């Protein structure tokens, strides 16, 4: 039996040049950064990676670069969600051929499918994955297709390759508890999300780890490791130190996360394809204070 995934499976942000083309040099640096920072796995491209604004060829190239650069040091989970089942299947086949350890997909998000359509979508992804674990991404909001916990369990029963769920509908804490009660041993684990802003609560409720943006991955790893060691007070203190930076990201948008990666020597630019607002002087001042608070938990040597 394959080792079950546990810990911080960090989500890569997608770096762009000033002309908005994919910055492969920064992407490779990002892979090395998260591995050095202690991530147990890598996930990309998903919502935080702006996958919906990447061409299919860019998604395939991104998968190839990340798997190649990871060099087997940690498992790489490739996002293959798409509005059309055939596209998701093609991306899944490519992810497997590129060397991914698993795939992650939320249900089709432009025209939602009924229960039979969702089942067919995941069954065909699982067939294309050919034995790789499938992570069902359960997200709400504008692109989400919320499912009841019992519906997710039925999907996992019908499609045995669905071994994990990334739970980020609100409130994610309650949803994780509900899903774990309903799933029993039908799943190998449920990951939290929501930008890491409920990390301690999610882990204490039984989440197997976290899938969230990578700008403060080392701080999240510290929280996880302290909880695993039985030091809940230390974990909560470390969680509080990162919370202002994570909250600012959730409030203002993706450029906060990319600015952190730029400051940490990972990205060359903060260019986003997603039209999030630019940071103003007050945002930058708040980020200064937030990063100063989180500094004790950051791995200075993460970037060579």
Query: Domain of 41?
Result: 7-231
Domain-embedded: residue 249:
no
The residue behind tokens 């996992």 is 156
Q: Alpha helix locations (H) across 184-231?
A: 199-204, 217-228
Domain-embedded: residue 280:
no
Domain-embedded: residue 237:
no
Mean pLDDT for the stretch of residues 247-270: 97
Domain-embedded: residue 287:
no
pLDDT tens digits, residue range 85-94?
999 999 999 9
| pLDDT at position 304 over 60 | no
Domain-embedded: residue 251:
no
**DSSP-derived secondary structure letter, 79:** E
| pLDDT at position 79 over 80 | yes
Give yes or no for a contact between 217 and 189, defined as CB atoms under 8 angstroms apart. Answer: no
Domain-embedded: residue 292:
no
| pLDDT at position 303 over 60 | no
Domain-embedded: residue 160:
yes
| pLDDT at position 301 over 70 | no
pLDDT tens digits, residue range 139-191?
876 677 789 999 999 999 999 999 999 999 989 999 999 999 999 999 999 99
What CATH number should be reported for the domain holding residue 80?
Answer: 3.20.20.70
Give yes or no for a contact between 203 and 192, defined as CB atoms under 8 angstroms apart. Answer: yes
Determine the pLDDT at residue 145.
79
Encoding tokens for residue 31? Answer: 């892979």
The distance in angstroms from the start CA to the end CA of the chain is 36
pLDDT tens digits, residue range 102-130?
999 999 988 888 899 999 999 999 999 99
Nearest to 113 by CA among 135, 71, 72, 82: 82
* CA–CA distance, 301 with 235 (Å, rounded to integer): 22
- Stated pTM of the model: 0.96
Encoding tokens for residue 152? Answer: 């997710």
Encoding tokens for residue 8? Answer: 């911080």
Determine the pLDDT at residue 299.
85
Domain-embedded: residue 81:
yes
**Percent of the chain's residues with pLDDT above 90:** 91
Secondary structure (3-state) at 86: helix
Average confidence score pLDDT of the chain: 95
Nearest to 34 by CA among 270, 261, 274: 261
* CA–CA distance, 190 with 210 (Å, rounded to integer): 9
Total number of domains in the chain: 1
């Amino acid at each position: 039996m394959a080792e079950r995934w546990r810990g911080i499976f960090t989500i890569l942000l997608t770096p762009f040049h000033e002309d908005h083309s994919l910055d492969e040099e920064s992407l490779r640096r990002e892979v090395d950064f998260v591995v050095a920072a202690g991530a147990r796995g890598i996930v990309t491209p998903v919502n935080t990676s702006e996958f919906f604004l990447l061409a299919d060829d860019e998604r395939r190239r991104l998968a190839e670069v990340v798997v190649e650069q990871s060099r087997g040091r940690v498992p790489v989970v490739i996002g293959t969600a798409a509005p059309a089942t055939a596209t998701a299947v093609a991306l899944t086949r490519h992810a497997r051929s590129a060397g991914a350890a698993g795939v992650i997909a939320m249900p089709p998000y432009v025209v939602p499918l009924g229960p039979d359509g969702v089942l067919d979508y995941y069954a065909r992804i699982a067939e294309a994955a050919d034995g790789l674990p499938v992570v069902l991404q359960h997200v709400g909001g504008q692109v989400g297709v919320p499912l009841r916990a019992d519906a997710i369990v039925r999907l996992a029963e019908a499609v045995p390759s669905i071994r994990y769920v990334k739970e980020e509908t609100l409130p994610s804490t309650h949803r994780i508890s509900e899903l774990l009660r309903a799933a029993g041993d039908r799943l190998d684990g449920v990951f939290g999300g929501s930008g890491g802003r409920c990390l301690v609560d999610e882990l204490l409720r039984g989440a197997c780890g976290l899938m969230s943006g990578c700008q403060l991955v080392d701080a999240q790893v510290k929280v996880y490791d302290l909880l695993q060691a039985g030091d809940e007070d230390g974990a909560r203190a470390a969680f509080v130190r990162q919370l202002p930076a994570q909250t600012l990201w959730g409030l203002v948008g993706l450029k906060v996360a990319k600015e952190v990666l730029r400051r940490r020597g990972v990205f060359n630019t903060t260019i986003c394809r997603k039209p999030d607002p630019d940071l103003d002087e007050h945002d930058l001042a708040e980020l200064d204070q937030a990063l100063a608070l989180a500094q004790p938990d950051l791995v200075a040597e993460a970037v060579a």
